[in-house]
Amino acid sequence: MKSLFKFLAVIFGAILLDQISKGILLYLVTGTVPLYGAAWSIVPQPWIIARVTDFFNIVFTWNPGASFSMFRALGEAAPIFMVVATAAIIGFIGYYALRRAGANERLPLALILGGAIGNLIDRIRFGAVVDFLDFHIGSLHYPSFNVADICICVGVGLYLLNWVIARVRASNKGGK
């Protein structure tokens, strides 16, 4: 029961940090925090909010596709496709995390779930995801991203690290 509470706390914490950061940005750009709808049509993009350093800006942009604007070519069908695909992935990972995952897998999976749910909320509300972190070297920009994307990447990294550690431990036990 205690581990379930921790698992859910990480998920809700990731969602909360993601949605608060996006809400603040939406408020700075529009003067309000729209609850739903195609608010992206009224905001020019990308819009540089602040130049923080020579290699980092806070920007405002909408991403109707997946990571790095994949599936943008689907046009008007992209939001529906992304909502259905994301919900299916969340369901699969949630089932795995609660029924089959080991103790070391739950934190990474909770981060992945929290990030995916944070972006899913945007897709349902707006039909696109708010991205705002922009790293660049000169005119070469890494695709902008958000807190949910960070949670997903850190979760995947931790999951892979746990997998490698488990494989090394298993091979060390077999070799002795």
Q: Which residues are designated catalytic?
A: 131, 149
What are all long-range contacts of 77-86, with beta carbons under 8 Å and residues at least 24 apart?
79/123, 79/127, 79/128, 82/123, 83/120, 83/123, 83/124, 86/116, 86/119, 86/120, 86/123
The three-state secondary structure class of 124 is: helix
Pairing of strands 140-141, 56-63: unpaired
AA letter at 51: R
- Joined tokens for residue 133: 């972190």
